[in-house]
A and B are shown apart, each in its own frame.
Chain A
Amino acid sequence: MNRIEVKDLNVYFGDAHILKNINTEIPKNTVTALIGPSGCGKSTFLRTINRMNDLIPSFRKEGDIILDEEDIYSPKYDVASLRKKVGMVFQKPNPFPKSIFENVAYGLKVHGIDDKDFLHQQVEESLKAAALWGEVEDKLDNSAMSLSGGQQQRLCIARTIANNPEVILMDEPCSALDPISTTKIEDLIHKLKNDYTIIIVTHNMQQATRVSKYTSFFLNGEIIESNLTDKLFIEPKVKKTEEYITGRFG
């Protein structure tokens, strides 16, 4: 069963045609990796799925994105509930300058939950799910800014999980992290894929092969090739894909 269906998607920023005729399906509770050279539209694609591009005045799109049989761009679709359902983890860890607890509780509070016991329970569960609980359980009131970069990124994942999403979008979540922190995030992704549909943008081919089941190769705003990750990396069907994954450009 598919969680997300993208039909004839075209995205423009002003006159610039950024995404061209994207047709793809993202299956439920698996990891899909998006690879491709810088500037080919991976982030833009990701940010179209949780409507973050709505914040950019020159953004315009054609085509549909269907999540659980619903068109997320239909006028009656509530953006706040979409972004609760489709969480996002950014390239640079961006915790709020608040306590660890407040960071994780943020989404719940924003969505109107203020029951203290429930918040505490959710914060604990989310931190456990993000493999961070053991490191922070006795300093939940400390500022999130005092954590290391890798811890901050796991905190951002916990913050997203606390919203009880169905989909998690990750835009190069390890690109600002050291190898050990990167491994921890990858282990975490393996753990999370049973419960969440994960779409991860990565510059790192090894990472794509390690964490994802499916991979889509983007080039100049188009999806050149999508396949099972193993197949795409072992026997790419398109010449361009082969050139990219063998490091001939990008």
Chain B
Amino acid sequence: MNINKIIPPKIAQKIMNGLFIASGLLTILILILVLGYVLVKGLPVVNLEFLLADPIDSGRAGGIFPMIISSIYVTAIAGIIATPLGIGAAIYIVEYANANRAVRLIRFGAEILASIPSIVYGLFGLAFFVVFLQFNWSVLSGGLILAIMALPTIFQVSEVTLSSIPSSYREGSYGLGASKWQTIYRVVVPAAIPGIVTGIILGMTRAISEAAAVMFSVGSALQTPISIFDPGRPLPLHLYTLATEGISLDNAYGTAAVLVIIVLVITIGTNLIVDRYQRKMTGG
């Protein structure tokens, strides 16, 4: 039986074109729907006071300033720790380790780490950072858990990017008398920056959006954390509390809108910077 007789190639082509366009449009539609809904519901409560004031009456009124600061704290701690570790591990795997057993173990480990549910990270953080290391409920404990969560993402994206750098760049560098380390930091890593930055941003946006991973470790304080040992309440956790405890659905949407805007600004902003860097690098 000939498939061409059932559906002539030209018509099959048209059907497939239609399906591809439809799935593209549907993806964009879903994005607009979700973002639009959150922004339409949330933006009305967002004003300067909402951004800069402390919450009043558990968040029924007032603003979310301490939550913004908490989010910045935990995300920054996660980034400062996970970024060098993730990139370092990727450089080790790609540039130093010859595809041996240790390499496969590290890759496998990263895959497992990436697939563990965030609530499980939350429990581990409670046991390890809060109780065992006695960091207590603090933005430090929360940030450390988020670092572990962001690590596999940064590692995996960096590794893929570094592996895709043509070996002819490395040869050119060695051929001019550069050492391995010079070759890595002067040629290979700069060429991989766009990919590595994408990995960092993926890891960081995942970290800033987490409620479950930090709910047992960061505390639930309504005050602005000053030191890293102070408890805090990042935006997603605040949003979760406002919604589930029936405190204020309006302010939950407001918090969600702020969170979404932060993530959008980070993502779009870095994309623009990376694009410019890439154009400068490749002249394209």
Contacts and interface: CB of A to CB of B under 8 A. Distances in A.
Contacts of B190: 97-98
A90 B172 CA distance: 8
A96 B177 contact: no
Contact of A87 (B98, B175, B191, B281): B175
A107 interface: yes
Interface string A168-185: 000000000000000000
Contact of B98 (A52, A57, A109, A110): A57
A143 B176 contact: no
Contacts of B182: 110
Contacts of A94: 166, 168-169, 171-172
Contacts of A88: 175
Contacts of A145: 281-284
B187 interface: yes
A98 B176 CA distance: 15
Listed residue (B171, B173, B174) with the most chain A CB atoms within 10 angstroms of its CB:
B174
B186 A106 contact: yes
B178 interface: yes
A160 B176 contact: yes
Interface string A210-240: 0000000000000000000000000000000
B172 A87 contact: no
B283 A84 contact: no
B280 interface: yes
B283 A142 contact: yes
Interface size class of B (residues with CB under 8 A): 20 to 34
Contacts of A150: none
Contacts of B166: 94
A160 B176 CA distance: 7
Interface residues of A, number: 33
Q: Is the interface of B mostly helix, strand, loop or mixed?
A: helix
A96 B171 CA distance: 10
Interface string A142-164: 11111000000000100110010
A205 B282 CA distance: 35
B176 A83 contact: yes
Contact of B177 (A84, A97, A143): A84
Interface in A57-102: 57, 79-84, 87-88, 90, 92, 94-98
Listed residue (B176, B178, B182, B187) with the most chain A CB atoms within 10 angstroms of its CB:
B176
Contacts of B282: 97, 143, 145-146
Given A96-B187, A97-B191, A143 B172 contact: no
Interface of A: 50, 52, 55, 57, 79-84, 87-88, 90, 92, 94-98, 106-107, 109-111, 142-146, 156, 159-160, 163
* Minimum-distance CB pairs A-B, first 4: A146-B283, A143-B283, A94-B168, A83-B177
Given A57-B98, A163-B176, 16 more contacts: A79-B177, A80-B177, A81-B177, A83-B174, A90-B172, A95-B172, A96-B172, A96-B187, A98-B281, A111-B177, A142-B283, A144-B283, A159-B172, A159-B176, A160-B176, A163-B177
